């Protein structure tokens, strides 16, 4: 399992391959503007894939595969998808701890299923983070 640091190093290496010195440079580039506008046009939904919110949406990179970083999505599963800012934060961090790609993937799947089944934010006092802390791997199936 890759650590968060290994994930970041892999991302940075892929970005260097396509001519960017860091992720911030990539996110402010004309390339990312083009990809984001294409994603906005082709999006199937204007909702968070986890909780269904329409507020604070951003595009989340589920992978830093070079083909996804340059906007070539043919024959690939969805590698960039919408998340609200709250779900995005919760799948990546728990306090000071940052999660690697497998854990982020697992947390996203669990959070998505929990939200869909009304187990998260549908019960008084149960936040997304509380749900994931109580159910670190609530469902075994993989969706992303």
Phi and psi (nearest 5°) for 101?
-60, -40
- Write down the pTM of the prediction: 0.71
Q: For residue 142, what are the contacts with CB-CB under 8 A and spacing of at least 6?
A: 105, 109
Domain ranges of the chain: 4-134
> Can you read off the two tokens belonging to residue 116?
């869909």
Beta strands in the chain (DSSP E): 57-61, 80-84, 93-94, 97-98
Q: For residue 112, with 0-12 CB atoms within 10 Å meaning exposed, 13-18 middle and 19 or more buried, which class applies? A: buried
Residue by residue, pLDDT tens for the chain (144 residues) are: 677 788 889 999 999 999 999 999 999 999 999 999 988 888 777 888 888 888 889 898 888 888 889 988 776 666 788 898 888 888 888 878 888 888 888 888 888 877 776 666 544 445 666 666 665 554 444 444
């Amino acid at each position: 399992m890759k650590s968060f640091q290994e994930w970041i190093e892999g991302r940075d290496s892929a970005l260097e391959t396509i001519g960017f010195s860091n992720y911030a440079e990539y996110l402010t580039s004309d390339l990312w503007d083009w990809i984001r506008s294409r994603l906005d046009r082709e999006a199937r939904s204007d909702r968070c894939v986890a909780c269904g919110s329409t507020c604070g949406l951003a595009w989340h990179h589920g992978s830093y595969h070079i083909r996804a970083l340059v906007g070539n999505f043919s024959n690939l599963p969805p590698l960039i998808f919408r998340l609200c800012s709250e779900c995005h934060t919760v799948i990546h961090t728990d306090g000071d701890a940052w999660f690697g790609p497998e854990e982020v993937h697992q947390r996203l799947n669990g959070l998505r299923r929990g939200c869909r089944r009304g187990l998260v934010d549908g019960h008084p006092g149960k936040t997304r983070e509380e749900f994931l802390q109580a159910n670190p791997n609530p469902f075994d199936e993989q969706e992303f």
